[in-house]
Structure 1
Amino acid sequence: MTSKAEAAKPSPAPGARTECDVVILGSGLAGSITGAILARNGADVALIDAGHHPRFAVGESQNPQLVEWLHILAVRYDVPEIKHLLDINAVTENIGPHHGRKQSFGFVTHRPGREPDPREATLFVIPKMLTEATHMFRQDTDSYYLNVAAKYGCTVRQDWRATDLDLDDEGVTVTGANGEVFRARYLIDASGFRSPLAQKLDLREKPSRLKHHARSMFTHYVGIKPYDDVCNYPEALRAPAESPFHGGTLHHLIERGWFWIIPFDNHKDSRNPVCSVGLTMDERLYPRDTTITPDEEFHRFLDQYPAVKRQFEGAHRVREWVSADRIQYSSKQTVGDRWCLMSHAAGFVDPLYSRGLSNTFEVVDALAWRLLDALKDDDFSAGRFEYVERLEQGLLDYNDKIVNSSYISFSHFRLWNAVFRVWACFTTPATMRLLRARQDYLLDGRDDRHFKDMEKAAYPGLWWPESHNFKHLLDLTAETCEKYEAGEIDGDKAADIVFEAIRDCESVNTPFGWKDDEDHRFYRATTPTMVRFMWWANTRAPAEMRDLGRAMVTGVVKSALRGRKVT
């Protein structure tokens, strides 16, 4: 491996040949942050992209696990700029005032031609102890991290289209349309659906094993009204004033589909009037009509749902629609000798629950330390990256289970309410396990075993991968929803089964209200709630939860005694 100074080479002339350690295809957040990590730690990296920045991208909404994975990457690989994505204040200060806050996940059920029933809405407000997350204005964040990668020494090529990939026992050759050649020891494809590597090696599953089906259309608007201002709900049934729907990502649920509303103007310091808008729906129920424009199709949907339509009165688009047929895809294999299909190049399920970037950066962490070791050992065999393969396939499969179950349940609110709880109730422990590992890493003199121990979990890709109880509950939920879909049981029976399983699952925490009556629909963890939760987690919870609770308390105490903040 070369030093950072050696890696910062001037651009060679077209037709030249450049030797490097790693070539990364794709300079979105995944490719650029991976490049920054590798270059910061001594690798000679070429970061190449067929397009250029700034550019439109979706994947704008964070979740708590994503924020903690970013924090882990920042401290584990000594790239402090990654911390600039950790919360809305850091993003605004370091990247710019164009981003929104992600205070919550809100869900509202709609039926054609009717006003929504306010009792058919759910809301999960992210506990502040986990994060004050962000709606990322991706043209700004992605440009910023491309420059961070360049700062650490990555050789950057934009508007550089790879026309040929050649893999052999000694390395990888990537040839561009301009004749320039990169010769590398390892190839990472972080380009997404149109992966050159997946095409070259015929890696796509045909058909995909994923059960979920959906197509999507999305764009940016200005002038979108906050749903809280147009919903006409009685005061007693509104979202809490301190946690409005407009404070986070809003999902308008329809039968086997949903609209997303992701505002960038909902933070006090934002200067961005734009709102991300999308519609994702099962293409088997809503086949694409190629005789009409995306604008016409979107407004046909709006015309069916009066409360959603009111949000768009006076609003207008600021860019063209992106409209895609079925967006689910998967790969037979994601790692091989000298190559890796990273995250969205390997597969994709759905933007529901904002898991895309969380999954991506879990893969980045698993790949980065292995690749840095491989560069030292000069051993790039697929076997040493076997965990990355299991992780990527698991992330697809478990996400497919919860998303497919959710789409099935959208048309029956009681069942949806139960499925929503299955997803949301494990968000906190899933984040706590990451926080515990980072805490222990810093308190124990940056001992990397704390991160490597997380990979010993039974179910890689599950968002709480050590939990047998969670795995059982998710499997039962998926099985029950599929029986409802097949007509073997009705929606109320399916809801009864899932609600009973939630009540019987000892790892589902009681202080947040997940086991409460069905009329409990808004979940907001105040400071007293968090105190009750930590007491439960340390005293009455099962062992898998008690371990997390006690570790968090111990870490806080140790940090205080040492007079240092765990950051």
Structure 2
Amino acid sequence: MPTDTEAAKKPAPEAAGEPIQCDVAILGSGLAGSVMGAILARQGVKVTLIDAGQHPRFAVGESQNPQLVEWLHILATRYDVPEIKHMLDIKAITENIGPHHGRKQSFGFVRHTPNREPDPREATMFVIPKMLTEAIHLYRQDTDSYYLSVAAKYGCELRQNWWAVDVDVDDDGVTITGKNGEVFRAKYLIDASGFRSPLAQKFDLRDNPPRHKHHARSLFTHYIGIKPYDDVCNYPQALRPPEESPFHGGTLHHLIERGWFWIIPFDNYQDSRNPLCSVGLTFDERLYPKPTDLTPEQEFNKYLDLYPAVKRQFEGARRVREWVSTDRIQYSSKRTIGARWCLMSHAAGFIDPLYSRGLSNTFEVVDALAWRVLDALREDDFTEERFAYVEKLEQGLLDYNDKIVNSSYIAFSHFRLWNAVFRVWACFTTPATMRQIMARQNFEFDGDDRHFKEMENAPYTGLWWPDSHAFKHLIDLTAETCERYEAGEIDGDTAADLVFQGIRDCESVNTPFGWKDDESHRFYRATTPTMMKFMWWASTSGPKEMRDLGRSFLKGVVRQGLRGRKVS
């Protein structure tokens, strides 16, 4: 692989005129690039935001999770960009961006086998506790366009339909040359462009093949007229999810052997005026090789025909845009940080849309990178060591996501094992989000940025609760067990027994939510009383890592309450 200096010696295409100077250039004006641009520009940084396309445009990555919402809250608070708070809940986004977004009340999962009606007992659901957040299905053409305008409002220089034909890095900065001959000169370059990253190509950064174990390709588009699964599933009332949390209230995952259909409605909120629904099929390309004799629509319908309950959702529905059909969607990079540049999030790598971790990972990286860029500009010091944590974070996020996603795909074909893996994924979502909320509350109380920086001092960078030794052990046990099942060393029931036992043995798995209940417990809805029981357990009888978190969280809540009284 060429070094940055060697690559910089390559002659650049002739440019017209003198380079336009800026502090930071960002390639890619999607949600990540625009929010990063807005943050830096808000702090007085001269930012150029470059994109080969233009807005509005179609994009996936539409489904939030609780941690993403809190990362957005942290970014808005830490960097004083209040517009980011418009993505914190469905009411805020509807009022400030428009009535085109859906609500994300839950993660619902239904297992299917070919040419049969699904067993209603083979479904699971995690309802996001309202005390944490009310998440959203983002209609990305609206959100991305809006945050591009926010970046412009704070002073970003915009270039759309601007094709970067060359990027040169030297000891003093970065030169970006456009197809039109225009040249920008920046002190630092953030590549937020995604898979086709110019920097990844320039420095030959991609792992070939990708280092991760998970395999999948994808088909996706937008439809109109998709029926709610609750209306077509033919389940007895006793085997349905709680009436307050229907399947249509959130993101629905139809699980098949080593794959899943996604159903992400934008019309499930009372004030939404958007009749569309995001639809996709992501499946292991080794089991489902990409055909050469079918169009993407024909291929999608071929698999839809195998699953009668899923197909009923599509009766009378029609797609409203062209299909996207990919090859393997996993990719990774040998490194993501260099002298004066960063491959940010999806430019660095990607695993799978399962569990909606894409945007959550992205904005965790934005938070880690932004303050370091600001410090580097202040001190005129862009050494790689300053950004080493960002590299560690990006690689860790990919590696831990690969573990849980690969385990899940293996488990899709065996419901007991899936039920166990599902619990491992879901049971640590609440404490992981509490950890973020606690840091933000402390910052709001005293304005000390150390509360956020201390979150980086964790032993398992990239794990969604990176302080937890118990969680690290449990996720490793789960991955090892699922791989043994995949290799034929143990059967599915034995694998399920091992993971369920690991859950029961793990002191940090909370009991009030029911994660340690018998296997008949499949739908998890934490009401306010349940959350109060959880907080009591976490603060009094949980293991030390839970007690520390619970007590600190409650202390922050009390301080916020007292502060609110003084203000009023």
Structure 2 letter corresponding to 1:467: S
Alpha-carbon distance in 1 for matches of 2:492, 2:383: 49
Alpha-carbon distance in 2 for matches of 1:442, 1:239: 38
User: How far apart are 1:560 and its partner, in Å?
Assistant: 1.9
Structure 1 letter corresponding to 2:552: A
Alpha-carbon distance in 2 for matches of 1:108, 1:276: 17
Please show how residues 358-397 of structure 1 align to structure 2 within 5 Å: 358-397=360-399
User: How far apart are 1:563 and its partner, in Å?
Assistant: 2.5
In the alignment, what sits opposite 2:68? 66
- Local SS of the residue matching 1:304: coil
Deviations 1:312-351 (A, max 9, x none): 0000000000010000000000001100000000000000
Q: Is the 8 A contact 1:16 1:179 kept in 2?
A: no
Deviations 1:351-405 (A, max 9, x none): 0000000000000000000000000111111110000000000000000000000
Say whether residues 1:153 and 2:131 are aligned partners: no
In the alignment, what sits opposite 1:163? 165
Alpha-carbon distance in 1 for matches of 2:565, 2:181: 53
Alpha-carbon distance in 1 for matches of 2:277, 2:449: 40
Unpaired runs of at least 5, structure 2:
1-14
Change (3 A) 1:219 1:565: farther
Structure 1 letter corresponding to 2:530: T
Change (3 A) 1:546 1:272: same
Deviations 1:401-456 (A, max 9, x none): 00000000000000000000000000000100000000111112x10000000000
Structure 1 letter corresponding to 2:329: I
Select which of 183, 186, 192 maps to 2:185.
183
Structure 2 letter corresponding to 1:98: H
Deviations 1:236-265 (A, max 9, x none): 101111100000000000000000000000
Select which of 62, 74, 81 maps to 1:79.
81
Structure 2 letter corresponding to 1:206: N
User: How far apart are 1:531 and its partner, in Å?
Assistant: 1.3
Say whether residues 1:404 and 2:406 are aligned partners: yes
Say whether residues 1:117 and 2:123 are aligned partners: no
In the alignment, what sits opposite 1:261? 263
Select which of 100, 103, 107 maps to 2:102.
100
User: How far apart are 1:527 and its partner, in Å?
Assistant: 1.4
User: How far apart are 1:42 and its partner, in Å?
Assistant: 1.1
- Local SS of the residue matching 1:279: strand
Structure 2 letter corresponding to 1:154: C
- Local SS of the residue matching 2:210: coil
Structure 2 letter corresponding to 1:129: M
User: How far apart are 1:562 and its partner, in Å?
Assistant: 2.4
Alpha-carbon distance in 1 for matches of 2:399, 2:492: 24
Structure 1 letter corresponding to 2:528: T
Please show how residues 328-343 of structure 1 align to structure 2 within 5 Å: 328-343=330-345
In the alignment, what sits opposite 1:203? 205
* TM norm structure 2: 0.96
- Local SS of the residue matching 2:391: helix
Say whether residues 1:282 and 2:292 are aligned partners: no
Change (3 A) 1:565 1:85: farther
Please show how residues 457-476 of structure 1 align to structure 2 within 5 Å: 457-476=458-477
- Local SS of the residue matching 1:563: helix
Structure 2 letter corresponding to 1:548: L
Alpha-carbon distance in 2 for matches of 1:305, 1:33: 40
Select which of 129, 132, 146 maps to 1:130.
132
Structure 2 letter corresponding to 1:269: D
- Local SS of the residue matching 2:484: helix
Structure 1 letter corresponding to 2:538: A
Q: Is the 8 A contact 1:559 1:565 kept in 2?
A: no
Q: Is the 8 A contact 1:263 1:274 kept in 2?
A: yes
Computed over aligned residues only, the root mean square deviation of the Cα atoms, in angstroms, reads 1.1
User: How far apart are 1:17 and its partner, in Å?
Assistant: 2.4
In the alignment, what sits opposite 1:356? 358
Q: Is the 8 A contact 1:104 1:249 kept in 2?
A: yes
Alpha-carbon distance in 1 for matches of 2:565, 2:200: 46
In the alignment, what sits opposite 2:533? 532
Say whether residues 1:479 and 2:469 are aligned partners: no
- Local SS of the residue matching 1:210: coil
In the alignment, what sits opposite 2:25? 23
> Which runs of 4 or more aligned residues in structure 1 lie more than 3 Å from their structure 2 counterparts after TM superposition?
13-16
User: How far apart are 1:565 and its partner, in Å?
Assistant: 9.7
In the alignment, what sits opposite 2:512? 511
